[in-house]
Amino acid sequence: MSLSLALQIAQNSLLNTARQTIVTSRNISEASNENYVTRDAQVVSSEAGARVVSIRRVTNDELFVQSLSARSDSTSQSYVADTTNRLQSLINGIENSTAPATLISAFEDALQLYATDPSNTLLASSAVSYAKDLADGLNTASLVVQDFRASIDQDIETAVGQLNDLLGQFEQVNNEIVQGTRVGNDVNDALDRRDSLLRQISEFVSVSAVRRADNDIVLYTGQGVTLFETIPRTVSFEPQSSFAPGVDGQAIRIDGVPVIGGTGGNTSATGALAAMVQMRDEVSLQVQSQLDEIARGLITTFAETDQSGGGGPALAGLFTYAGGPALPAAGTVSTGIAMTLGVNGLFDPDVGGDPQLLRDGGANGAAYVSNTTGGSGYADRLIGYVEAMSDPLPTDINAGIAGTYSVAGYAEASLGWLESLRSNANASAESKLALFDRLTQAHHSSTGVNIDEEMAILIDLEQSYEASARILAAVGEMLDQLLAAVR
């Protein structure tokens, strides 16, 4: 080996050591950055010694894709769990104190007490008062559901704005990567930023990335809709200022295609947007339908029937609504009826009504009077109402509850339905978060910085530097001796 070649090899070694030291030092300094991927200097051999040809990111594409999917699942499930908890609290209150089932139970107790002493006007007024509390509770719950839907609409508007902003940032970074790749620039930092943006985007929608030439990427949603290809696709949404029972909100559209909401407590939604649609247009609508079914059941159960034999229709009695006195259709949801449910003023002593009509009947005229003798101890009608509250009524399966229930039983089933949904959503949120945490940790362990390994590399580089320096010194001495001999 000639002295000039030895000198060149030593110089290359020093240069390589310097570049590798810079890479290793950067790795160590970014150890706490969860979005940083470890760099590795790629060294190849040549006649003049080894040389660094590129700085490579230590990636794990399979784990990255899995972690993106788990992030989408966990984010959507957490949203369903959080909003279901909030809805349960808004509707049913602390320890179910405002739940329709609780209000019905209190009213039923008051009615039974009145039935034991039908001549007691105070007990009659108390029963009517509990009926008013029940109707007010259903009115309030219906309004709460609509306000809840409006708040989710605001969440959607905010999320759509954030997603569009992220897609705009993604376009800038992707362009930087493509252009840098074409001219041979180091684009590793830009690749880190793009991966970070992908993680944030996956919180809103499930995404799959297809790589193209020059490190370009095309993004598709879980529904197969193009989200990004050279430029971002538009994510559009028109919020509503208010909601009415039974009316769906506006669709979220990605490139013109509506986002489909998830289903179930263990939601099928992937990404927060689909979870928001589910809570606004599925869960909330079913809760409202169940409130409407309870209201319809109360109107039907406490209806007055023609006692004269004239064949008159059954008409709303103690409980009425905007469409009264005609009864709502049997076996089908009367959308929004819970919002207009009220106690007939003819029964309400606070507005000049007679609470004893609950015992006697006749709110719809003389033909509907049950206590035809006017006896103060007449209790048959009250006992009949108490028994009717346990009688099965036809219900609409579209409200989310299958089976045959009495009005009291349906209220209990509705309470159990929401609690079951909430419990399932919370348990699923914990399991999906655990999976996401495990995959994220596995990905970080695979691609993140290992301080121990980097410090060991740094020690090796230091030793390599010392060896190269000694070679340079030796070659220098030989050259000095050679020049001295020539002179």
Q: How far apart are CA 288 and CA 290, in angstroms?
A: 5
For residues 85 and 132, state if they share a domain: yes
The contacts of residue 52 (CB under 8 Å, 6+ apart) are 15, 16, 19, 20, 41, 42, 43
pLDDT the model gives residue 52: 47
**Other C-beta atoms within 10 Å of 89: how many?**
12
pLDDT the model gives residue 480: 61
Last residue of a domain, one of 394, 411, 436: 436
Residue 280 lies in a domain: yes
pLDDT the model gives residue 21: 73
For residues 210 and 346, state if they share a domain: yes
pLDDT the model gives residue 210: 93
Residue 443 lies in a domain: no
Q: With beta carbons less than 8 A apart as the criterion, state whether 294 and 411 touch.
A: yes
Q: How far apart are CA 373 and CA 370, in angstroms?
A: 9
For residues 48 and 117, state if they share a domain: no
- pTM to 2 decimals? 0.87
For residues 468 and 427, state if they share a domain: no
The contacts of residue 439 (CB under 8 Å, 6+ apart) are 63, 66, 67, 70
Q: With beta carbons less than 8 A apart as the criterion, state whether 410 and 402 touch.
A: no
For residues 411 and 362, state if they share a domain: yes
Residue 45 lies in a domain: yes
Residue 103 lies in a domain: yes
Q: Write out pLDDT tens, residues 98-118.
A: 999 999 999 999 999 999 999
For residues 233 and 382, state if they share a domain: yes
Q: Write out pLDDT tens, residues 174-190.
A: 999 999 999 988 899 99
Domain that holds residue 126: 65-436
Q: With beta carbons less than 8 A apart as the criterion, state whether 91 and 141 touch.
A: yes
For residues 354 and 467, state if they share a domain: no
Residue 444 lies in a domain: no
pLDDT the model gives residue 25: 78
For residues 160 and 38, state if they share a domain: no
For residues 149 and 252, state if they share a domain: yes
Q: With beta carbons less than 8 A apart as the criterion, state whether 215 and 187 touch.
A: yes
Residue 442 lies in a domain: no
Structural domains of the chain, count:
2
Tokens of 429: 């949120």
Per-residue pLDDT of the chain (487 residues; tens, 9 = 90+): 455 555 555 555 666 677 767 777 776 877 888 888 887 776 555 555 555 446 788 888 899 999 999 999 999 999 999 999 999 999 999 999 999 999 999 999 999 999 999 999 999 999 999 999 999 999 999 999 999 999 999 999 999 999 999 999 999 999 999 999 999 888 999 999 999 999 999 999 999 999 999 999 999 999 999 999 999 999 999 999 889 998 889 999 999 999 999 999 999 999 999 999 999 999 999 999 999 999 999 999 999 999 888 888 999 999 999 998 999 998 899 999 999 999 999 999 999 999 999 999 999 999 999 998 889 899 999 999 999 999 998 888 998 898 889 999 999 999 999 999 999 999 999 999 999 999 998 988 888 777 777 677 667 656 665 656 665 566 566 656 666 666 6
Handedness of CA 287, 292, 297, 299 (dihedral sign): positive
For residues 111, 117, 121 and 126, what is the CA-based torsion angle, rounded to 10 degrees?
Answer: -30
Q: How far apart are CA 43 and CA 298, in angstroms?
A: 81
- The residue behind tokens 């362009």 is 175
Q: What is the DSSP letter of 53?
A: E
The contacts of residue 218 (CB under 8 Å, 6+ apart) are 209, 210, 212, 226, 228, 229
The gap from C-alpha 451 to its chain's centroid, in whole angstroms, comes to 37
**Other C-beta atoms within 10 Å of 465: how many?**
17
